[in-house]
């Protein structure tokens, strides 16, 4: 039995071309996703809206991290300028925490003069997706539809897409800089989330 070497060679060339095309398409998808995320870093929604939703970030025994403070201060600006009537702070406990990210944010805003009746806490979320889904449920129960999402610039596009998925009518007010490392991580998360859904991505990460 003889082997048809020219036919094997042609198959090899076709396979190589198909793989090269696949890699090119993946590269283009990632590049356009990165560009989309970079454009979202410029989001500066300033209302008016019914509420501001502050995405959680690290806290240390009740003291908000600099990242969380930056987000809380932006929410304060919106509240004090009467662009929102309500501020929602979100985020549960991380392993080893003595309190939640939401409670740390709540205490900070109370000490900054925001009255209790104008604050809401979402304390169960252990990820951006679960926090936003939970917040959406109780905002709907209060008849709140328009929301400004406050988060870091590199995170803006992902929270926009999650808002769409959970049915939240929202714009983003981005704070802070957009460093390359977080932008690359967000590119992968957004690329995968768009392909399989952000709820499924969130489940896979747990």
Tens of pLDDT, residue by residue, the chain (206 residues): 455 667 667 777 777 887 888 889 999 999 999 999 999 999 898 889 999 999 999 999 999 999 999 999 999 999 999 999 999 999 998 888 889 999 999 999 999 999 999 999 999 888 999 999 999 999 999 999 899 999 999 999 999 999 999 999 999 999 988 888 999 999 999 999 999 999 999 998 87
Domain ranges of the chain: 51-204
DSSP string, 12-49: HHHHHHHHHHHHHHHHHHHHHHHHHHHHHTT-B-----
- Give the fold, CATH level 3, of 51-204: Rossmann fold (3.40.50)
Cβ-based neighbours of 131, under 8 Å, separated by 6 or more: 55, 56, 90, 91, 92, 122, 124, 125
Q: How far is CA 3 from CA 7, 9, 13, 14, 15, in A?
A: 9, 11, 17, 18, 18
* SS3 state of residue 148: strand
Ramachandran angles phi, psi of 172, nearest 5°:
-115, 135
Q: How far is CA 141 from CA 73, 90, 145, 200, 205, in A?
A: 27, 17, 10, 25, 29
Q: So what's the pLDDT on residue 124?
A: 87
């Amino acid at each position: 039995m003889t082997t048809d070497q020219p036919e094997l060679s042609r198959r090899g060339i076709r396979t190589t071309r198909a793989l090269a095309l696949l890699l090119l398409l993946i590269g283009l998808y990632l590049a356009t996703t990165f560009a989309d995320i970079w454009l979202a870093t410029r989001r500066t929604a300033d209302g008016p809206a019914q509420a501001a939703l502050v995405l959680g970030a690290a806290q240390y025994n009740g003291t908000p991290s600099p990242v969380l403070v930056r987000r809380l201060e932006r929410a304060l600006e919106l509240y004090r300028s009467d662009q929102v009537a309500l501020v929602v702070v979100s985020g549960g406990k991380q392993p080893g925490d003595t309190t939640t990210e939401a409670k740390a944010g709540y205490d900070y805003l109370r000490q900054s003069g925001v009255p209790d009746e104008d604050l809401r806490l979402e304390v169960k979320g252990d990820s951006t997706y679960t926090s936003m889904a939970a917040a959406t449920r109780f905002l709907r129960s209060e008849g709140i539809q328009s929301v400004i999402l406050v988060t870091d610039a590199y995170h803006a596009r992902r929270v926009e897409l999650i808002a769409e998925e959970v049915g939240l009518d929202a714009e983003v007010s981005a704070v802070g800089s957009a460093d390359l490392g977080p932008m690359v991580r967000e590119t992968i998360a957004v690329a995968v989330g768009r392909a399989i859904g952000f709820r499924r991505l969130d489940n896979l990460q747990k």
